[in-house]
Structure formats: structure tokens, C-alpha cells
Amino acid sequence: MRMLALGFMAASVALAGPTFTKDVAPILYKNCVGCHRPGDIAPMSLLDYKSARPWAKAIREAVAARKMPPWFADPGFGAFSNDPRLQARDIETIKAWVDGGSPEGNPRYLPPKPVFTEGWKLGKPDIVIDIGQDFVVPPGNDVYQYFTVPTNFTEGKWIRAAQILPGNRRVVHHVHVSLVLNRNGTEGDAGGFRQQSGRFWDWKDGLSRLRMDAPVLNDACAGELPGVPDLSGFEEGSFTAMLPGKPPDNFGDSTPKWIPAGAKLRFQIHYAKVDQPQTDRTSVGFYLASGPPARPMRRLDLRNRYFLIPAGAANHEVKRCYEFEADKLLVSITPHMHYRGKDARYELVRPDGRRETLLLVPHYSFSWQLLYRFQQPVYVEKGSRMIVTFHYDNSANNASNPDSSQVVRWGDRSEDEMMTSWMEYLDATPSSQSWSKTAEARR
Ligand code: HEC
């Protein structure tokens, strides 16, 4: 009886301002609990009043400063379909709720809790392929481990979505799955550069690192390095990736990706440092498209591997350019750096000289490797030039910098750096045969 009476009082007091059950929970359910629920990546659950209430002030701060939900694109450039930012009126509601003492309100108003499919976020996949073994991650350093496994596909398949499911969340930091299409088992992406410029690279525990004495090119837009490949044009990227904060890849039923018959999958798994051995069996789930598309989804990766960041440099610039050799529709961009990553800008210079910024990430964070998907694919004419400009903060003022006294070059370890961009695109003028020809040629 007493409980009921208290509940009733709370409800009548709350008439004055927003309450958790009626006004705030719907906002949290829609925008926050995908991560803020037991067992997912955020530190606390926002599913019920009891667990959310102690965080009320922090929630007010996080939404007022737009730190949550995480999103790093400058709103001045581009419109993105996966932009999770809250509506201004939702922010006002949360502020008013906290300023009014964060009341619970009548439990009757609490909307039904959202239902999550644990693990597979898009429902049960049509096909699941794992790394083929229970891999024991040794304690000590970061590990990059490669697993090549057969698909056993006897015919090619169109894939509308893919999700990588870590076998052991405590140790799997990120994963790329690539297609291996040729008979001798070398992978499609990044394999070429290793063969051609191997002399500049050191290998240890599956981790590659550019040698300190390798040639230096910070501005790959100004020219190339003789004998060094992949500083112009583009490389074809991995098939699907799992990165911190990134949802599953949803290519779309009308723009799926193609896996040819007989392809193998190569998992590249970055295992984080652990104190105790950990066992992992990561898998990838594929969702089949309903039929062949007019335009298959493709990947275009741009890297500059030959930068050198001096010790202590607070704003070191690295550039990479790309001339479009055909008309393309740009679908998404994912910038990638490590701890010293500071900002990223993507500009396009059209053949008529018009210059526009497609995406600006003014404050990059290694913890959030987000994909930015354009609201409408960006039509880019042949002859346009993409200019990618990254800055790195290797000073002691960068709180996430592991060591500002180091000269930093490209390397797989998180303490080294990268300068890479993963982009999805469609052929702007597809011929019905173009995809199958490419798939055959690359086998
Ligand atoms: C994509 C996943 C994701 C979404 C969506 C998300 N969060 Fe978070 N949130 C995190 C993670 C991970 C952390 C801890 C690491 C960090 O602070 O970056 C965090 C931290 C926080 C913190 C800071 C806790 C502290 O230590 O002060 C608050 C408050 C918060 N989130 C509130 C929200 C609210 C409110 C929403 C929705 C409007 C939201 N978050 C949406 C993942 C998410």
C-alpha cells in the first residue's frame, strides 16, 4: 500500500515537468540502450530508472555537449543517414528532467523495453562461417592473427549485409574479413604492397611495421615515391569489418556485395593485450540478397603508408589524393588512424574546379571508428580529385598519446600509426556485365 501511495505522489508531482517513464525513457530507448544495456559496450545500463538515475547529471552533460550518442562529423558539411544526434527538443526534455530533480513518474507510462537479438543484430544470418578453430590468444602483446577458411560456395552469392561476431569480446579489438580469390591463397587487399615493397617493412608476430629508414612522403598529393606502389589510385578493401562503435555492414538489398564460387575468407583479427590466455572463435554471418543488383557495392581504400611523424609534433599533416578514373557514386567514408589521430578532412575538386568538403571530422577518436554514410550517394565525375588530409598530435598534450618521444610511422600496432580511409561506392554507369567480369578476372 505504501509503495503504491508513493508511486501515486511521484506521478502527481511530475505533472509539472518531464518524468523518466513518460518522457525520458522513450528517448533513451531510441538513442542510447543499443549500447547502454547489460552486456554491451557502454559502462552502465540506461534501461530502467534504478540504473539510470545515478547517472542523471552525467547524462545531462553528455547530451547537452553532444558527446552522446558518439558522432564526430562536423555538422557544417555533408548529410549522413546514420547520423545519431539527438533532436534539440529531446535534449531540452532531458535537461528539464534533470533540472526538475530527475523524477521517475508513473511506472504505467514506461514504454515496453526494446527487444535485442543477442549477438546477431540483424537477426539470424543465412550463412555463418567461423575461423575454424578455438584460437588461444597468448598473454603479453597485441596480436594480429590471420585465419584463412573456405566458404565452400559452389556458386557465387550476393550478400546484402554482414556481421562479424567476436567469439570473445574481452580480447577481440577489431576484425577485417577479406575475400581470397586466387588459387595460391594470397589475399586481395594489401597483399600486393607487401610483395612489391617488402624491403621497407619489418614483420613480427604477424604485425607489419614500416622501417624508420624507409622513404618519407607526408604529402602524397604533391608527387609519388619512385618504386613505391599504392600512393595513387586505390586499393580494394576488405569485405566487411568489425570496428569499435561500428554497427554491422548493411550494404542494402539493391546494392549487395558479391562472393564468387570457391572464394576463401581471410580473417584478420587484432587481439588486444591480455594478462591471461583467452580463447576465441570469431565468426562472420552473411545475409543473402534477393537477387543480382543493378549496382554492386564496392570498396575503395586510400592509404599513405610513407608518412613520418616527428617526436612531439602537435599538428603533423599527412595527405593522400585520388583522381577518379570513372564516374562513381560515393556511399560512405570511414577514416582510420590510431591514438595520435587528430582530425580528418575529405575534399573533392570537380573537373570544373569547384571544391567542396564532403566530410570533416574535427576531433578524431581511436575509440570510435565510425562509418559516415551519405544521405544520398555523392555523384563524382571522372577526373574529379579527392584530397584526404589528416592531422596527428604526437605531443604530450594529447592525453591518448602512448609516447610523445617516439618518431612514428605506419604500423599495425596501436602504438604505431595509420593513414587510411575505407570508402564504399557504386559504379555510376553500370553495365549489367561489369561486376561478373571483374569477379572472373580477379579469380
Ligand atoms: C554506440 C554506442 C553508444 C550509444 C548509442 C550511446 N552511448 Fe553513451 N557511452 C558509450 C560508451 C562505450 C561509453 C564509455 C566510453 C566513453 O565515455 O566514451 C559511454 C559513456 C556515456 C556517458 C559517460 C559516463 C561517464 O563516465 O561520465 C554517459 C553519461 C552516456 N554515455 C550517456 C549516453 C546517452 C544519454 C546516450 C543516448 C542519448 C548514449 N550515451 C548513447 C556508448 C554509447
One domain, residues 215 and 356: yes
Mean pLDDT of the chain: 89
Please list, in sequence order, all residues whose beta carbon lies within 8 angstroms of the beta carbon of residue 222, skipping any fewer than 6 positions away.
Answer: 319
Give the pLDDT of residue 229. 82
Domain count, the chain: 3
Cα–Cα distance list, 179 to 122, 158, 174, 267, 442 (Å): 22, 13, 17, 9, 11
**Pocket lining: 69 vs ligand 1, CB cutoff 6 Å:** yes
Give the pLDDT of residue 422. 95
Mean pLDDT of each 10-residue bin along the chain, 443 residues long: 46 70 97 88 92 98 96 96 96 98 96 87 94 95 89 96 94 92 51 60 83 96 88 90 87 94 94 91 98 91 97 98 97 96 98 97 93 96 98 98 97 92 91 45 35
Q: 351, 289, 306: which is closest to 325 by C-alpha?
A: 351
Q: Which three cell numbers stand for residue 423?
A: 570508402
One domain, residues 96 and 19: yes
Identify any residues that bridge with 316 across adjacent strands, giving them in sequence order: 392
Q: Which three cell numbers stand for residue 95?
A: 535537461
- Atom of ligand 1 at shortest range from CA of 27: 38
Q: Whose CA is nearest to atom 32 of ligand 1?
A: 59
**Pocket lining: 36 vs ligand 1, CB cutoff 6 Å:** yes
Give the domain-ending residue among 243, 271, 292.
Answer: 292
The domain of 360 spans 208-231+294-432
For residues 239 and 164, give the distance between their C-alpha atoms in angstroms, rounded to a whole number. Answer: 11
One domain, residues 168 and 251: yes
Give the pLDDT of residue 116. 81
Stated length of the chain? 443
One domain, residues 227 and 341: yes
User: Would 195 be classed as within a structural domain?
Assistant: no
Measured in angstroms, how far is the CA atom of residue 339 from the centroid of ligand 1? 20
User: Would 261 be classed as within a structural domain?
Assistant: yes
Give the domain-ending residue among 109, 143, 159.
Answer: 109
Measured in angstroms, how far is the CA atom of residue 68 from the centroid of ligand 1? 5
Give the domain-ending residue among 292, 318, 335.
Answer: 292
One domain, residues 423 and 351: yes
One domain, residues 221 and 368: yes
CB atoms closer than 10 angstroms to residue 387: 17
Give the pLDDT of residue 223. 87
**Pocket lining: 39 vs ligand 1, CB cutoff 6 Å:** no
One domain, residues 61 and 11: yes
Give the pLDDT of residue 188. 43
User: Would 442 be classed as within a structural domain?
Assistant: no
Write the burial class of residue 395 (CB in 10 Å: 0-12 exposed, 13-18 middle, 19+ buried): middle
CA atoms within a 13 Å half-sphere pointing along the CA-CB vector of 56: 21
124-179 pLDDT, tens digit per residue, is: 999 999 999 999 999 988 888 999 999 999 999 999 999 999 999 889 989 999 99
Mutate to test the pocket of ligand 1, among 30, 35, 95 (most ligand atoms within 8 A of CB): 35
Phi/psi-derived region of residue 349, left when phi > 0, alpha when psi is between -120 and 50, beta in every other case = beta
CB atoms closer than 10 angstroms to residue 279: 12
One domain, residues 298 and 402: yes
Give the pLDDT of residue 315. 98
Measured in angstroms, how far is the CA atom of residue 176 from the centroid of ligand 1? 25
Mutate to test the pocket of ligand 1, among 68, 89, 102 (most ligand atoms within 8 A of CB): 68
User: Would 201 be classed as within a structural domain?
Assistant: no
Measured in angstroms, how far is the CA atom of residue 62 from the centroid of ligand 1? 8
Mutate to test the pocket of ligand 1, among 20, 28, 33, 36 (most ligand atoms within 8 A of CB): 36
User: Would 129 be classed as within a structural domain?
Assistant: yes
Measured in angstroms, how far is the CA atom of residue 42 from the centroid of ligand 1? 6
DSSP state of 22: I
Contact 419, 319 (CB under 8 A): no
- pTM (2 decimals)? 0.88
CATH code, 216: 2.60.120.230
Measured in angstroms, how far is the CA atom of residue 362 from the centroid of ligand 1? 19
**Pocket lining: 359 vs ligand 1, CB cutoff 6 Å:** no
One domain, residues 304 and 409: yes
**Pocket lining: 59 vs ligand 1, CB cutoff 6 Å:** yes
User: Would 175 be classed as within a structural domain?
Assistant: yes
CATH code, 180: 2.60.120.310
One domain, residues 262 and 376: no
Phi first, then psi, for residue 440 (nearest 5°) are -65, -45
Please list, in sequence order, all residues whose beta carbon lies within 8 angstroms of the beta carbon of residue 431, skipping any fewer than 6 positions away.
Answer: none
User: Would 393 be classed as within a structural domain?
Assistant: yes
**Pocket lining: 63 vs ligand 1, CB cutoff 6 Å:** yes
User: Would 198 be classed as within a structural domain?
Assistant: no
One domain, residues 285 and 164: yes
One domain, residues 185 and 243: yes
